């Protein structure tokens, strides 16, 4: 059984085999009234339970941070202010006598894309191209109201000791170093940049989907301001992504409400990833060791898949190896859609956690 917890509504459903097995429905989150909010969560899961064809194995869902997800304790989410050190997971375990797994949406988005979306999509293309390369690590970014992230390493969700891994929103903002990256890579950042370049108040700035239409000439407005707003987002997100990929060394997938405008910000992201540091003597040093590719660009995708595959001989023997010497990373857009990726991620996370528990 799953739940998508937002500041306004709780959306309930159930998954089996990566597919919904119950019609989704929503109840008010009542984020300022803890008793009512908890009652709605319990009644929502009871309603799902009544509609299932078979007993569920677990409850798994996304809930806003900060939280101690490992222990199921919600600390102090901004959009659900009544939750302060609430042991939500243990409460649900007691109520339903089921294992309960809670994480945040950035983590589950990435886990879903690693399990059934972007990561297997890229590896399948590499296999079809005859490449010996395969990727095991994935960094997920969500661009929307906030700037979220998640990390999957070799099939495992990396959550950290404080349930705070993948918090890309707190990386430094390249264009305004006194601020965090989210202030340059979110819905409000795109609107603010458009307003500033168009010379209008922020309150009059359109939403990103309209700014995208303006950038493409499909809607009236300041086209240069629209394109610059997405370029700035790409520069900030690309700088943050570059910092993260230096540590993670994998592929990157982008989701969230702004992802549909990727044609306007992915080039700026790739410019950042493939940019250089400049030493004091003028020598240029690539900021990333691997070459970064835009996997939404057919020409770049072709080069990425082809790589530099050659046959090499093992010294001292006649044995030969097929080897791809092109160190590379790729950035692309969600193959599942953000909501579906989160749901699949919650399902996959529950199965993985149950398997680990059985193995102990």
Residues 37 and 116 in one domain: no
| Within a domain: 356 | no
339: confidence class by pLDDT, cuts 50, 70, 90: confident
Helix/strand/coil (H/E/C) assignment for every residue in 1-42: CEEEECCCEEEEEEEECCEEEEEEEEEECCCCCHHHHHHHHH
pLDDT over 80 at 338, yes or no: yes
Last residue of a domain, one of 49, 80, 103: 103
pLDDT over 90 at 286, yes or no: yes
Domain containing residue 123? 108-349
Residues 140 and 228 in one domain: yes
Residues 28 and 76 in one domain: yes
**How would you label 274-291 residue by residue, b for 16+ Cβ within 10 Å and e otherwise?**
bbeeeeeeeeeeebbebb
| Within a domain: 360 | no
141: confidence class by pLDDT, cuts 50, 70, 90: very high
pLDDT over 70 at 360, yes or no: no
18: confidence class by pLDDT, cuts 50, 70, 90: confident
pLDDT digits (tens, 9 = 90+) for 181-209: 999 999 999 999 999 999 999 999 999 99
Q: Which residues contact 299 (CB under 8 A, 6 or more apart)?
A: none
Q: Which residues contact 307 (CB under 8 A, 6 or more apart)?
A: 131, 133, 324, 325, 326, 328
**Could you tell me the CATH number of the domain that includes residue 328?**
3.30.420.40
pLDDT digits (tens, 9 = 90+) for 210-247: 999 999 999 999 999 999 999 999 999 999 999 999 99
Last residue of a domain, one of 103, 127, 157: 103
pLDDT score, position 128? 97
Count of structural domains, the chain? 2
Residues 207 and 314 in one domain: yes
Residues 19 and 116 in one domain: no
Percent of all residues in the chain with a pLDDT value above 90, rounded to a whole number: 90
Answer for the pair 52, 59: CB distance below 8 angstroms, yes or no: no
Rounded to the nearest integer, the mean pLDDT of the chain is: 95
| Within a domain: 7 | yes
pLDDT digits (tens, 9 = 90+) for 26-63: 999 999 999 999 999 999 999 999 999 899 999 999 99
Residue with tokens 């999509």: 121
Last residue of a domain, one of 69, 84, 103: 103
The C-alpha atoms of residue 109 and residue 107 are separated, in whole angstroms, by 6
| Within a domain: 91 | yes
| Within a domain: 355 | no
Residues 307 and 160 in one domain: yes
Residues 92 and 162 in one domain: no
Residues 202 and 324 in one domain: yes
Residues 30 and 157 in one domain: no
| Within a domain: 208 | yes
**Residue 153 backbone phi and psi in degrees, to 5:** -115, 115
| Within a domain: 354 | no
pLDDT score, position 358? 81
pLDDT score, position 236? 98
Residues 302 and 207 in one domain: yes
pLDDT score, position 317? 94
Tell if the pTM clears 0.75, that is, is over it.
Answer: yes
The C-alpha atoms of residue 36 and residue 28 are separated, in whole angstroms, by 9
Residues 268 and 303 in one domain: yes
Closest CA to 357 of 63, 62, 58, 137: 58
Residues 204 and 67 in one domain: no
Region 264-270 average pLDDT:
98
The C-alpha atoms of residue 128 and residue 330 are separated, in whole angstroms, by 17
| Within a domain: 359 | no
């Amino acid at each position: 059984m799953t739940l998508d917890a937002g500041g306004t509504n709780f959306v309930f459903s159930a998954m089996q085999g990566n597919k919904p097995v119950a019609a989704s429905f929503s109840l008010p989150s009542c984020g300022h009234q803890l008793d009512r909010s908890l009652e709605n969560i319990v009644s929502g899961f009871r309603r799902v339970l009544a509609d299932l064809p078979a007993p569920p194995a677990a409850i798994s869902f996304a809930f806003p941070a900060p939280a101690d997800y490992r222990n199921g304790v919600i600390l102090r989410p901004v959009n659900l202010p009544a939750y302060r050190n609430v042991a939500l997971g243990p409460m649900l375990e007691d109520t339903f006598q089921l294992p309960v797994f809670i994480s945040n949406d950035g983590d589950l988005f990435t886990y879903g894309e690693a399990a059934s979306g972007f990561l297997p999509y890229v590896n399948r293309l590499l296999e079809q191209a005859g490449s010996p390369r395969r990727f095991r690590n994935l960094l997920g970014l969500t661009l929307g109201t906030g700037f979220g992230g998640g990390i999957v390493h070799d099939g495992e969700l990396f959550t950290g000791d404080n349930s705070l891994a993948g918090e890309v929103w707190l990386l430094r903002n390249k264009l305004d170093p006194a601020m965090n990256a989210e202030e340059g890579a979110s819905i409000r950042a795109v609107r603010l940049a458009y307003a500033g370049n168009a010379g209008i108040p922020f309150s009059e700035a359109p939403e990103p989907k309209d700014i995208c239409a303006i950038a493409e000439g499909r809607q009236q407005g300041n086209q240069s301001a629209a394109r610059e707003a997405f370029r700035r987002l790409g520069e900030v997100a690309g700088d943050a992504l570059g910092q993260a990929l230096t540590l993670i060394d994998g592929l990157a997938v982008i989701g969230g409400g702004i992802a549909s405008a990727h044609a306007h910000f992915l080039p700026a992201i790739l410019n950042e990833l493939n940019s250089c540091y400049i030493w004091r003597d003028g020598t240029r040093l690539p900021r990333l060791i691997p070459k970064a590719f835009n996997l939404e660009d057919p020409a770049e995708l072709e080069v990425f898949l082809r790589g530099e595959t050659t046959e090499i001989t093992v010294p001292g023997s006649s044995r030969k190896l097929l080897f791809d010497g092109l160190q590379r990373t790729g950035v692309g857009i969600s193959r599942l859609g953000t909501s579906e990726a989160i749901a699949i991620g919650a399902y996959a996370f529950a199965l993985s956690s149950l398997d680990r528990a059985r193995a102990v």
